[in-house]
Amino acid sequence: MKPAPFEYYAPSSLPDAVDLLSRLDADGCDMKIIAGGQSLMPMLALRVARPEALVDLRLLEDLDYIRKEDDGTLAIGAMTSKQAAADSPLVRSAQPLFQAATELVGHRQIRNRGSVGGSFAHADPASEYPAVALVLDTEFDAIGPDGLRRIRAADFFVTYMTTALEPTEILTAVRFAPFPSGRRWAIQEFARRNGDLALAGVALAFDIQAGLCRDVRIAAFGVEATAVRLTAAEQMLEGRPAQPIAFEDAGKVAAAALDDPMSCIHASSDYRRHLVGVLTARALGEAAARTH
């Protein structure tokens, strides 16, 4: 199929893009922002999305960067490709969980075109990124007519493919606080084929102090309308010995705590719940075994 007709715009600067979005919004235009296009283009082709106008950010080269700021924050520009993030030694050393999650996204051809910011803004519940953002307390910079706004991950993801971004706002950067040395992390997912969207997945991070689990953060993706923190499993594991029996117990608690896992032709609600339990236990074991 082919997309429904739409007006196409490619602003050459960030101020021009914000001004364009404001004018289109004032006119009551149904508009979509396109970054890399690896998620949006299939939706346009299938006419799942039928915007009246498409605003392409491909000319905003100043949003393509990876840098460490003075306070140790890792800042990634929204138009940075996923492959650039996956290949970056800085990302690998500063945010290994995010780097590992990026390598799980699709295939290299998809990562070459898909943007980091576009994936976060798309907020697909099967995406690895929202869960990782919840685990890492990621912050998002958005600019609109009223200036810059910083949004915490806990407030950014609202529901199915919906974020806190206003129609006239553009996501400009993703910000990660320094990842503590020695902190354990892992991400596990299950997909029908390599590169497919995950039927379920789990991302997590925690510390081991005197043999006990501390500051546990676990998030699941691919199971509900958006990524979800598994707080019951976190609380159960806090202060427990970092041993397989505790990880198995955490997996059971994580699975039981899910509100209403999605069901589709590929995976029933019960199967997704089962996967979360198994993947949680596996990811905890993987993280505990890390030596770096």
Q: Is residue 2 part of a domain?
A: no
Q: Count of domains in the chain?
A: 3
Residue 33 half-sphere exposure toward CB, CA atoms < 13 A: 30
Express each pLDDT in 51-88 by its tens digit: 999 999 999 999 999 999 999 999 999 999 999 999 99
Residues 212 and 190 in one domain: yes
Express each pLDDT in 198-212 by its tens digit: 999 999 999 999 999
Question: What does the pLDDT read at residue 69?
Answer: 96
Q: What is the CATH number of the domain that holds 13?
A: 3.30.43.10
Residues 153 and 220 in one domain: no
Question: What does the pLDDT read at residue 291?
Answer: 65
Residues 260 and 234 in one domain: yes
Q: Is residue 116 part of a domain?
A: yes
Residues 76 and 131 in one domain: yes
Residues 172 and 188 in one domain: no
Question: What does the pLDDT read at residue 224?
Answer: 95
Residues 189 and 207 in one domain: yes
Q: Is residue 240 part of a domain?
A: yes
Question: What does the pLDDT read at residue 11?
Answer: 97
Per-10-residue mean pLDDT, the chain, length 292: 89 97 96 87 86 95 97 97 97 97 91 93 94 98 97 96 96 97 96 88 97 98 96 98 98 95 94 98 97 62
Q: Is residue 1 part of a domain?
A: no
Residues 163 and 202 in one domain: no
Q: Is residue 48 part of a domain?
A: yes
Choosing from 152, 176, 200, the residue where a domain stops is 176
Name the residue range of residue 161's domain.
64-176
Write the CA distances from 32 to 2, 48, 185, integer angstroms: 17, 13, 35
Assessment of whether the complete model's pTM goes beyond 0.85? yes
Residues 201 and 230 in one domain: yes
Residues 74 and 50 in one domain: no
